[in-house]
């Protein structure tokens, strides 16, 4: 019998990223920070992007991990001028990870101004911001480079009350497929990662809202979500980061135009 092969996420599995330039948007916390950390640990020169000052705290944390350079860029990805100004500080991008996004419930029967503002904010950030950030990066990406977009398993399905967020994640997958076609002549690979439930602040905020709507506790709902997976507890951000490493590596040289679930089988059909 062949022994099972287990991956230790602390191992340095990939040698592709030594001195490669990697940009991660939405990297001040959560999945974005974990992805940036993974690339730093694998020898990349990493630029991290977010619109708040927390990005500079993240920069200091990451700089302690490696002697490679980590640079924080503060900008609003939904603002083209902000992106132009900050991305002018980058010469080349081998791997671009469009991860920034926001998540709020936007129930159709909520007529408040806040609900409409949340809807517009989600579309501006998750759809327009993703497009603009890639648009400002593309001239810096060499032939045979890599673009990864963070979507969600909700980009392939739906739940009640998250119309803006789910629409935006479906849009991310459409954008990914179009860009894979457009950039194929340059052999730039464009793929999407579709995480399942991950223990991040936005996800846990959504979980709280869902638990309230279902008249149950957060803990009960979290356990139910874990039981829908093929194995394991709900993931931590570091668990998901491995998928980005793999898709950006030479192991995925023939993979483009794909939406890869990182969900422990939650969306098996």
Q: Is 4 a residue whose pLDDT tops 50?
A: no
Considering the domain architecture, whether residues 96 and 221 belong to the same structural domain is answered as: no
| Predicted confidence band of residue 13 (pLDDT cuts 50, 70, 90) | low
Range with lowest mean pLDDT among 49-53, 135-139, 227-231, 260-264: 227-231
For residue 164, how far is the Cα from the chain centroid?
17
Whole-structure pTM value: 0.92
Class of residue 44 by CB neighbours under 10 A (exposed 0-12, middle 13-18, buried 19+): buried
Considering the domain architecture, whether residues 225 and 96 belong to the same structural domain is answered as: no
Considering the domain architecture, whether residues 218 and 106 belong to the same structural domain is answered as: no
Considering the domain architecture, whether residues 110 and 141 belong to the same structural domain is answered as: yes
Q: Would 1 be classed as within a structural domain?
A: no
- For 190-234, the pLDDT digits (tens) are 999 999 999 998 889 888 988 888 889 989 999 998 999 999 899
Q: Which domain holds residue 220?
A: 199-234
Question: Mapped to the 3 state alphabet, what secondary structure does the chain carry?
Answer: CCCCCCCCCCCCCCCCCCCCEEEEECCCCHHHHHHHHHHHHCCCEEEEEECCCHHHHHHHHHHCCCCCCEEEEECCCCCHHHHHHHHCCCCCCCEEEECCCCCCCCCCCCCCHHHHHHHHHHHHHHHHHHHHHHHHHHHHCCCCCEEEEECCHHHCCCCCCCHHHHHHHHHHHHHHHHHHHHCHHHCCEEEEEEECCECCHHHHHHHHHHHHHCCCCHHHHHHHHHHCCCCCCCECHHHHHHHHHHHHCHHHCCCCCCEEEECCCCCCC
Q: Would 14 be classed as within a structural domain?
A: no
Considering the domain architecture, whether residues 226 and 243 belong to the same structural domain is answered as: no
Q: Count the domains in the chain.
A: 2
Considering the domain architecture, whether residues 156 and 226 belong to the same structural domain is answered as: no
Q: Would 11 be classed as within a structural domain?
A: no
Considering the domain architecture, whether residues 241 and 211 belong to the same structural domain is answered as: no
Q: Would 189 be classed as within a structural domain?
A: yes
Considering the domain architecture, whether residues 229 and 246 belong to the same structural domain is answered as: no
CATH code where residue 107 lies: 3.40.50.720
Q: Would 31 be classed as within a structural domain?
A: yes
Predicted confidence at residue 176, as pLDDT, reads 99
Rounded to the nearest integer, the mean pLDDT of the chain is 93
- For 252-266, the pLDDT digits (tens) are 999 999 999 999 999
| Residue in 103, 70, 73 with CA at minimum distance from that of residue 85 | 73
Considering the domain architecture, whether residues 159 and 216 belong to the same structural domain is answered as: no
Predicted confidence at residue 213, as pLDDT, reads 81
Q: Would 38 be classed as within a structural domain?
A: yes
Q: Would 211 be classed as within a structural domain?
A: yes
Considering the domain architecture, whether residues 91 and 208 belong to the same structural domain is answered as: no
């Amino acid at each position: 019998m062949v022994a099972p092969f287990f991956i230790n996420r602390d191992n340095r599995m990939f040698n592709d990223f030594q001195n490669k330039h990697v940009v991660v948007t939405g990297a001040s916390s959560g999945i974005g920070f974990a992805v940036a950390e993974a690339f730093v640990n694998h020898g990349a020169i990493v630029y991290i992007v977010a619109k708040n000052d927390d990005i500079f705290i993240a920069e200091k944390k990451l700089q302690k991990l490696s002697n490679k350079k980590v640079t924080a860029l503060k900008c609003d990805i939904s603002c083209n001028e902000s992106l132009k100004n900050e991305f002018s500080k980058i010469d080349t991008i081998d791997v671009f990870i469009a991860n920034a996004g926001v998540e709020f419930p936007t129930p159709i029967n909520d007529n408040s101004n806040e609900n409409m503002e949340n809807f517009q904010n989600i579309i501006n950030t998750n759809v327009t911001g993703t497009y603009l950030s890639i648009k400002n990066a593309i001239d810096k990406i060499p032939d045979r480079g890599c673009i990864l977009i963070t979507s969600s398993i909700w980009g392939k399905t739906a739940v009640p009350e998250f119309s803006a967020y789910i629409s935006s994640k479906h849009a991310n997958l459409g954008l990914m497929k179009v860009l894979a076609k457009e950039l194929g002549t340059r052999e730039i690979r464009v793929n999407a990662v579709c995480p399942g439930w991950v223990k991040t602040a936005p996800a846990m905020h959504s979980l709280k809202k869902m638990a309230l709507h279902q008249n149950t506790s957060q803990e009960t709902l979290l356990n139910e979500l874990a039981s829908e997976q093929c194995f394991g507890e709900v993931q931590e951000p570091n668990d998901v980061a491995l998928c980005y490493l793999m898709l950006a590596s030479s192991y995925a040289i023939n993979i483009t135009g794909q939406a890869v679930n990182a969900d422990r089988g939650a969306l098996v059909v």
